[in-house]
Amino acid sequence: MITARTAQEIHSWVRRWKSAGQRVAFVPTMGNLHQGHLELCRQAAIKADRVVVSIYVNPLQFGEGEDFEQYPRTLEQDRLRLTRESVSLLFTPTDEVIYPHGKRASTQVVVPELSDILCGSSRPRHFIGVTTVVAKLLNIVQPDVVLLGEKDFQQLYLIRRMVEDLFMSPQVIGVPTVREADGLAMSSRNSYLDAEQRARAPALYRCLRRLRERLQAGERDIAALEQQGREYLTAAGLRPDYISIRKAASLAPLREPDGEELVILAAAYLGETRLIDNLRVMP
């Protein structure tokens, strides 16, 4: 596995591979790799001849008072994990590579409206940071396909929209959420949880499953279901940020199911740690 830090190095490797007729897949991450990330790498290796992974903790997507400083940085362990996967190239850019004129002065990529709902309402500007850095990374790597986790459903949705709106060429592939045995979605932020919080955390997924069962049983009052979800989380010792049942294809809210696929999205706090999860509900 090659490690590169500059855009020029990435360009020259990818150009070499593409001119040999090879397909290139890209997996952007913030590192502290777990099985969820590794599943993206494995799916990438199925879709393409060459897999490029980036590890970059993007300062632009963290708000004031968020966990940018404490975000786990485990590069050597990550590198070791990736050497056991079919990854050709690890891209570990510095802030100077990604934001050569400083992050405040950088050109930004904004997907309006959809960046301000759900996670965007409690994390203002977060998704501007995400779409901006992913646009930069896609322009550097120029992959044939980019793989993203469904765990970050809104992020996946926004990146699909950005790629479509800006006529970017990569195919965007969503990979189902990888979970711990007790259902908790794997996340680098799970390491912030103490033992008691970790024991409570699977209630988030249980709550989503319970709401899905109610929907599948024919319950039609979306607002009442969302309220039940908040109560469930509170009773389980979590502090709900939001629970929202929306159309999976558009993230549009709805009052009653209309036969389209739905997605139940939730964010909740355990202490200072904010966990997110979602579950799709087939009609």
Cα separation values, 49 from 17, 26, 92, Å: 9, 11, 21
In the complex with ligand AMP, which residue's Cβ is closer, 175 or 243? 175
151 binds ligand AMP (CB under 6 A): yes
In the complex with ligand AMP, which residue's Cβ is closer, 17 or 205? 205
Instruction: Provide Rg for the chain, Cα atoms.
Output: 19
Return d(Cα 121, Cα 111) in angstroms, integer: 14
The conformation of residue 194, written as its DSSP 8-state character, comes to: -
Distance of CA 262 to the CA centre of its chain: 19
Residue from the set 48, 175, 222, 275 that interacts with ligand AMP by CB under 6 A: 175
The pair phi, psi for residue 270, each rounded to 5°, is: -120, 105
| Residue 11 a catalytic site member | no
Residue from the set 149, 170, 229, 240 that interacts with ligand AMP by CB under 6 A: 149
Smallest distance, ligand AMP to C-beta of residue 43, A: 10
Sheet arrangement for strand 89-91: 2-4, 89-91, 50-55, 24-29, 145-149, 171-175
Q: Are strands 24-29 and 145-149 parallel, antiparallel or unpaired?
A: parallel
130 binds ligand AMP (CB under 6 A): no
Tell me the window of 5-13, 104-112, 115-123, 170-178 that interacts with ligand AMP (CB under 6 A): 170-178
14-53: which residues touch ligand AMP (CB under 6 A)?
Answer: 29-30, 36-37, 39-40
Amino acid at 130: V
Q: Which tokens hold the place of 96?
A: 């100077």
178 binds ligand AMP (CB under 6 A): yes
Tell me the window of 86-94, 185-193, 226-234, 253-261 that interacts with ligand AMP (CB under 6 A): 185-193
148 binds ligand AMP (CB under 6 A): yes
Residue from the set 78, 144, 152, 241 that interacts with ligand AMP by CB under 6 A: 152
Q: Closest Cα to residue 68, out of 148, 125, 121? A: 125
168 binds ligand AMP (CB under 6 A): no
Catalytic residue chosen out of the listed positions 11, 37, 101, 126: 37
H-assigned helices in the chain? 7-19, 35-47, 75-83, 95-98, 119-122, 126-141, 153-165, 195-200, 203-216, 222-235
The conformation of residue 179, written as its DSSP 8-state character, comes to: B
Smallest distance, ligand AMP to C-beta of residue 270, A: 17
Residue from the set 166, 168, 186, 236 that interacts with ligand AMP by CB under 6 A: 186
Tell me the window of 13-21, 83-91, 137-145, 183-191 that interacts with ligand AMP (CB under 6 A): 183-191
Provide the β-strand partners of residue 146. 26, 172
Tell me the window of 80-88, 107-115, 147-155, 241-249 that interacts with ligand AMP (CB under 6 A): 147-155
Interface with ligand AMP (CB under 6 A): 29-30, 36-37, 39-40, 148-149, 151-152, 175, 177-178, 185-188
Q: Which residues are catalytic?
A: 37
